[in-house]
Homo-oligomer: A and B are copies of this chain.
């Protein structure tokens, strides 16, 4: 029985667990869930969060995408994502978490969800967070050095979603002049063979985020 992953395309955290098994050459099946119509298997497998992504391996399920990513790395040791160096491992875990907790939140709030003062504050935060990532890339092609590592996969959503956000909200977020290394990394990462072949359809993603953005604006206007 192959390893199975349940994911949705519009989830920022899902693609990392589509990419990781392919990088490692694991026999792997991806099932795309529709969150507006949750399948019985999703509710059965993840009663705590009722969320994807989920990895099913040997009949057991693992949830939380970074936990899954680390499980994949520990179980299939070929083409390892985390360094053997213990300090480097800790740093990779830190930056992956920083991406999920800080970068995602500030970009969503700054460019998507909030208005007025809160929006402005979150936008400033987002720029500060992106600057930390820019600094991390000094002297490196990828966060993992010469090949894709744990942090590259964890931040992969940036390469994938930023251009969608930018198109939907009509603003430049990762500016090439301001963030040259991050812009270069986004190209480098998304042009890598396995990543490129497993990229969600951009036009559908834009349509979904447009609908979400319009609904957010309408809800904000209605609550005024």
Contact = CB atoms under 8 A, between A and B. Distances in A.
Given A48-B132, A132-B48, A71 B97 contact: no
Contacts of A62: 87, 90-91, 94
Interface in A92-107: 93-94, 97-98
**A interface bracket (residues with beta carbon within 8 Å of B):** 20 to 34
A87 B71 CA distance: 7
A60 interface: yes
A67 interface: yes
A74 B94 contact: no
Given A62-B87, A63-B94, A67-B93, 6 more contacts: A62-B91, A62-B94, A67-B97, A70-B93, A71-B86, A74-B89
15 contacts: A48-B132, A60-B87, A62-B90, A62-B91, A62-B94, A64-B93, A64-B94, A67-B90, A68-B90, A70-B90, A70-B93, A71-B86, A71-B90, A74-B89, A75-B86
